[in-house]
Amino acid sequence: MTSAGPLDGVTVVDLTRALAGPHAGMMLGDMGARVIKVETPGKGDDTRGWGPPFVGPNEEIATYYLSCNRNKESITLDLKSDDGKQVLTKLIEKSDVLLENFRTGVLDRLGFSMEQIQEINPRMVILSITGFGHDGPQTGRAGYDQIAQGEAGLMSMTGPNPQTPTKVGVPIADLLSGMYGAYGVVSALYERERTGRGKVIRTSLLASVIGVHAFQGTRWTVGKDLPKAEGAFHPSVSPYGLFSSADGLVQIAVGAESQWQKFAPAFGFEPNDPAYATNGDRVRNNAQLIPAINQAFSAYSTPDLLAKLNELGIPCGEVKDLQQVYEWDQVRSQGLVIDVEHPVLGQIELPGPPLRMFDGESEWKREHTAPPELGADNDAVRAWLGLDA
């Protein structure tokens, strides 16, 4: 597949910083869009200073920044200056998408309200990400991932017990906002093919976390059963979770009654015991079932236990650290580790995009570029706009 990608020809002006907006921009760049990252002179994106770890000859490059800015160009603009406003206006005129995650009202004060942007370019698709929403009683409130995880209920359902609310190990509210935002942008670009006009897409960290409450949400809204943290076990399926072998940890997911009928006798359980006969019975009796399974599993090493579970057809797995993940041949076979050439660091590996695209048997693979140095593309972008460097 030799095309430049499904979003080839789309130009994105990325005014965002930190993670939610940059992640959306990176997703669009992965699909072939040209993404021009606009940064503050001398400082750049906040994540350039988020560390340790820092890498490079003088430890000047934050690995955090490297995680969310591949396949982009970087220019520096002072948006309060006449020059900065002129360049941004030109960018809006010539581009298709604008991403922003300023606090509500900041762009308006700079002279680039949603209405003004669409006057400059009626075809512009605008993605605006906030912390808690663009209106309502808490509009304008600063949005940070862990605060949003707590306020949106995620931490109340995560952790070893209800007394220990726990955040997810990655900034999931930011990442979800970026993903939902990119999905909105692509949808609006598709609609623009029919209408000829752009759209304003709005999402927030709050909305994105609530958007993935899934069965836990309806558990409360319909069932009035308040979810709580239950450690590494599923609240509605059993046995499903993290168990101990003789020398480690193993996860299992017995998600069907046919699987229980195979699992139970293999580990000393009577499958039709009234306490365990149905999934509902097992969930209600988890307090006794989980320790009993741990006791049965204690007779096996992790490799032997996984082999037996696989032979039975029981979904299972171990718990890997990230070194094991990125060295895993399955991960590499899926293109989830990519090589890029960085101007300071040389060849480095980055986590790769989670989508693969095929045309028949041929796979499209873009040539990825490293996250740019601050202002690396100032001259090239200004030349493209017809402005002096």
pLDDT in tens, 287-322: 999 999 999 999 999 999 999 999 999 999 999 999
pLDDT of residue 389: 67
Annotated active-site residue 174? The verdict is yes
Pairwise CA distance, residues 351 & 338, whole Å: 6
Q: What is the mean pLDDT of residues 347-360?
A: 94
Nearest to 196 by CA among 124, 116, 126: 124
pLDDT of residue 27: 98
pLDDT of residue 384: 96
pLDDT digits (tens, 9 = 90+) for 93-116: 999 999 999 988 899 999 999 999
pLDDT of residue 295: 97
Q: Looking at this protein, which amino acid is placed at residue 265?
A: P
Task: Band the pLDDT of 225: cuts 50, 70, 90.
Answer: very high
* % of the chain residues with pLDDT over 70: 99
pLDDT of residue 388: 80
Q: What is the mean pLDDT of residues 142-168?
A: 95
Checking if the pLDDT of 42 tops 70, the result is yes
More confident residue, 362 or 254: 254
Checking if the pLDDT of 21 tops 80, the result is yes
pLDDT of residue 359: 86
Q: What is the mean pLDDT of residues 239-267?
A: 97
* DSSP 8-class letter at 129: E
pLDDT of residue 311: 97
Question: Helix 172-195 and helix 20-30: axis angle, to 10°?
Answer: 50
Residue 323: Cβ-neighbour burial (10 angstroms; 0-12, 13-18, 19+): exposed
pTM of the model: 0.92
Place of tokens 């949003």: 148
Q: How far is CA 130 from CA 106, 124, 169, 175, 250, in A?
A: 12, 19, 21, 13, 39
Q: What is the mean pLDDT of residues 229-243?
A: 95
Checking if the pLDDT of 1 tops 50, the result is no
Please tell me which residue in 174, 321, 359, 388 is annotated as part of the active site.
174
* % of the chain residues with pLDDT over 90: 94
Write the CB contacts of 375 (distance below 8 Å, at least 6 apart in sequence).
39, 41, 44, 74, 75, 76
Checking if the pLDDT of 2 tops 80, the result is no
pLDDT of residue 385: 96
Write the CB contacts of 46 (distance below 8 Å, at least 6 apart in sequence).
17, 18
Nearest to 352 by CA among 29, 2, 49, 3: 29
Checking if the pLDDT of 62 tops 80, the result is yes
pLDDT of residue 140: 82
Checking if the pLDDT of 331 tops 90, the result is yes
- Strands (DSSP E) found in the chain: 11-14, 34-39, 54-55, 61-62, 73-76, 97-100, 125-130, 200-204, 240-244, 249-253, 316-317, 337-342, 346-351, 357-359, 362-364
Task: Band the pLDDT of 3: cuts 50, 70, 90.
Answer: low
**Domain annotation for the chain: domains and CATH numbers:** 11-212+331-385 (3.40.50.10540), 240-320 (3.30.1540.10)
CB atoms inside a 10 Å sphere around CB 285: 16
Q: What is the mean pLDDT of residues 354-363?
A: 89
pLDDT of residue 54: 96
